[in-house]
């Protein structure tokens, strides 16, 4: 055998090997019907939302359909296994202000919230108008069965109009991808006419 024929034989063997590996990898393609692996606390993409207005309140907001509703101390809370939406109406002196939230809200949260770790305080645009958004981390309530707690990522929105303030607090496990559901909820907030 000549060097040229040996080189040609090697080239053909390499090309045959490449073709074989690509056909075997295509047989191992991902199953398009496989269930998506989501971190604990992810709100499903197909979650339905319904409008809710607390009795006597001057606002409405969309909440996930089927979540348990509770009321205590003037606040209404909707919960599923790991997430919660809490809403409470009260008096306000001024419009939404980052400076006022830093001055009053952060110290109050630091005293009231277990393992409070502040994030950011920003002014955001929502469909109903501007709102102050406060982010922070906190420990969850202990699990009723195991007694264990987890770290929650919390978003607190302050909506203000005509001397009234609604505080909308959204909480779920740190690492859960609830950006879209939380945006849907906060964008659905509406003041009554």
Q: For each successive 10 residues of the chain (193 residues), what is the average pLDDT? A: 49 45 47 63 92 95 97 95 95 89 95 96 96 97 90 97 95 95 97 91
Q: What confidence score (pLDDT) does residue 172 get? A: 96
- pLDDT, position 163: 92
pLDDT for res 28? 55
What's the structural domain count of the chain? Answer: 1
146 part of a folded domain:
yes
> What are the phi and psi torsion angles at 163 (to 5°)?
80, 5
Domain containing 176 — which CATH number? Answer: 3.40.1000.10
Q: What DSSP string describes 20-64?
A: HHHHHHHTT---TTSPPP--TTPPPTT--EEEE--TT-SEEEEEE
User: Residue 75 falls within a domain, yes or no?
Assistant: yes
Does residue 30 lie in a domain region? no
Rg (CA), the chain: 26
Q: Return the pLDDT at 15.
A: 42
Residue 39 lies in a domain: no
Task: Look at the block and give the residue holding tokens 């630091």.
Answer: 110
CA dist list (Å): 163 to 89, 107, 128, 151: 11, 22, 16, 34
The predicted pLDDT at position 115 comes to 96
User: Cα 156 to the chain's mean position, in Å?
Assistant: 12
Could you list the residue range(s) of the whole structural domain that residue 54 is in? 49-191
**For residue 13, what pLDDT is reported?**
46
């Amino acid at each position: 055998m000549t060097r040229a024929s040996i080189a040609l034989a090697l080239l053909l063997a390499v090309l045959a090997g490449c073709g074989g590996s690509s056909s075997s990898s295509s047989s191992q393609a991902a199953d398009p019907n496989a269930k998506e692996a989501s971190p604990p606390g992810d709100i499903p993409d197909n979650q339905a939302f319904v409008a809710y207005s607390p009795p006597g309140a001057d606002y409405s907001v969309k909440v996930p359909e089927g979540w348990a509703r509770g009321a205590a101390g003037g606040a209404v809370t909707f919960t599923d296994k790991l997430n919660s939406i809490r809403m409470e109406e009260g008096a306000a002196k001024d419009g939404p202000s980052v400076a006022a939230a830093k001055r009053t809200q952060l110290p109050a949260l630091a005293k009231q919230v277990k393992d409070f770790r502040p994030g950011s305080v920003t002014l955001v645009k929502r469909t109903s108008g501007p709102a102050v958004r406060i982010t922070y981390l906190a420990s969850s309530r202990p699990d009723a069965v195991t007694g264990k707690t987890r770290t929650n990522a919390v978003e607190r929105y302050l909506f203000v109009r005509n001397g009234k303030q609604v505080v909308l607090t959204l909480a779920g496990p740190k690492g859960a991808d609830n950006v879209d559901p939380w945006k849907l909820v906060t964008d659905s907030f509406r003041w009554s006419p």
